[in-house]
Amino acid sequence: MSFEFPLPDVGEGLTEADIVAWKVAAGDTVTVNQILVEIETAKSLVELPSPQAGTIDALLVDEGQTIEVGTPIIRFNGGESGAEAGSDGASETGGSGSDSGGPAEATSTEDADGGATLVGYGARTTSSKRRPRKGAPVPSPSAASAEAAPAPAESASAPGESAPGASSASTAATSPSPAASTGQPGPADPAAVPAGAAKPLAKPPVRKLAKDLGVDLSQVVATGPHGDVTRDDVRGAADQVSAPTSGATATSAASASDRGEDEERIPFKGVTKMMAKAMVDSAFTMPHVTEFLDVDVTETMAMVRRLKSTKFLGEDVKVSPLLIVAKAVAWAVGRNPRINACLDGDEIVVKKYVNLGIAAATPRGLIVPNIKNAHSMGLGELAQGIQDLTALARSGKTPPADQAGGTITITNVGVFGVDAGTPIINPGEAAILAFGQVRKKPWVVDDEIVPREITTLSVSADHRVVDGEIISRFLADVGRGLEDPTLMLA
């Protein structure tokens, strides 16, 4: 008896994920909680454990494919749990909830046979069999039309008559199924389907693919085993629609093909797509205002060098100028709490804690995890927090919780040799500070020009939440703390 395991909701409120790498192969024997596959959501990489012990019968999704939550990804052949815990016909309908577009909903850690399963995985404890449609017996390929467009026997057309609104000729021309010869409407003949008939049969991933490709499912010839539309059906219909119809179109396509070797196409998905959406939402909902300040950070840089050489914060703790900037931001927020706020409907919410976001460039794209309660941390704790956060971000396994709840953010553009920028505010916050590169420049000290280490700070803020005075005072305090770090000891 087989059991199909659907892609579960990993608790992020997301609807799809990419299959990154399979950790098992068909024929392998696995145990409960053994890692099956690594997936990438819009926020992080996640390893999915096995919901049961058994033998892998087949991998249902290829690496690199994007699928929706609820789509079956792997099939087990027997095992201690899974299919036995489902209802009658579970294997016929995907018993794991795949037909309903959602993951299995097991709420117990043991199945009916006593085998351990993961909470949220495994077969449903209640029946998952579909409610039969009127007049639709167990479907078969030849009865697909009855499932797609059921009609009471009393109102059936007489033999040889076509359905309302369609001629027999058009029915025969558009429907290759056996139903065409009987005069009954089939799933591939939308014109022959009576008003109020069921929608074309297709699983959620197939419907999404059709939407993405601009294909009308009612116009697609269904070849699935139960009269349902498959991915290949949708792609075939899309190819017919997009086929070149003129010499100019064909020439354009050929020209684009010739340029293919000189171009790189990067999938717009995952972290990159999520970041893009967040930035668009922020840029077009918040009136950004940006201020700049050149700061003499000679004392800050001397402090960083002392901390490095003495290893005062610990042997394995990495000390960088970003550490002192983070401390200065937390200190300046304490002096200007209004900057640490957000707009919630008709209220401005001023937060009395600092969850300090650090924008991190990773191989998967830009993410902004945050250090919780940074305002209460000493230099050692803050340094360790930044180090752990950065290492986890680069590994691509930052959990969603670490990216939620930020109150104010720092982006370190100086590490790339950039002096300043106009950063876009992280959604849900009111300000973001950009820290530019530190360079030696001529500076006036006590009416004399001397070489000093200088950086440029820039802060973008939501002008709905804070006015120019608050922004200016906050930026000036950050600069003051970096010019003389001893001020932050008070």
Question: What tens-digit pLDDT sequence spans the chain (490 residues)?
Answer: 788 889 887 765 667 888 888 999 988 999 988 999 988 776 677 888 988 888 998 899 888 888 888 899 998 886 554 434 343 433 333 444 434 444 433 333 344 343 434 444 444 444 444 444 444 444 444 444 334 444 443 433 344 443 334 433 333 334 444 444 444 444 444 444 444 445 788 877 778 788 878 888 888 888 887 788 888 888 888 877 655 544 455 555 555 556 667 888 877 777 777 778 888 888 888 899 999 999 999 999 999 999 999 999 988 889 999 999 999 999 999 999 999 999 998 999 999 999 999 998 887 778 899 999 999 999 999 999 999 998 888 887 888 888 889 999 999 999 999 999 999 999 899 999 999 999 999 999 999 999 999 999 999 999 999 999 999 999 999 999 999 999 998 7
The pLDDT of residue 12 is: 54
Do residues 296 and 483 touch, judged by C-beta distance below 8 A? yes
Do residues 153 and 136 touch, judged by C-beta distance below 8 A? no
Q: Is 375 a catalytic residue?
A: no
pTM of the model: 0.55
Residue 279 main-chain phi, psi, to 5 deg: -70, -40
Do residues 383 and 318 touch, judged by C-beta distance below 8 A? yes
Instruction: Say how far residue 484 (Cα) sits from the centre of its chain.
Output: 42
From 226, 288, 375, 463, the catalytic residue: 463
The pLDDT of residue 241 is: 64
Phi-psi region of 33 (alpha: psi -120 to 50; beta: other; left: phi over 0): left
The size of the chain, in residues, is 490
Residue 216 CB contacts under 8 Å (≥ 6 apart), including other chains: 210
Structure tokens of 204? 């959620």
Dist CA 412 CA 423 (whole Å)? 10
Dist CA 463 CA 10 (whole Å)? 36
Dist CA 109 CA 387 (whole Å)? 37
Dist CA 425 CA 462 (whole Å)? 8
Return the half-sphere exposure (C-beta side, CA atoms, 13 A cut-off) of residue 356. 27
> In a 3-state reduction of DSSP, which class is residue 221?
coil
Do residues 231 and 239 touch, judged by C-beta distance below 8 A? no
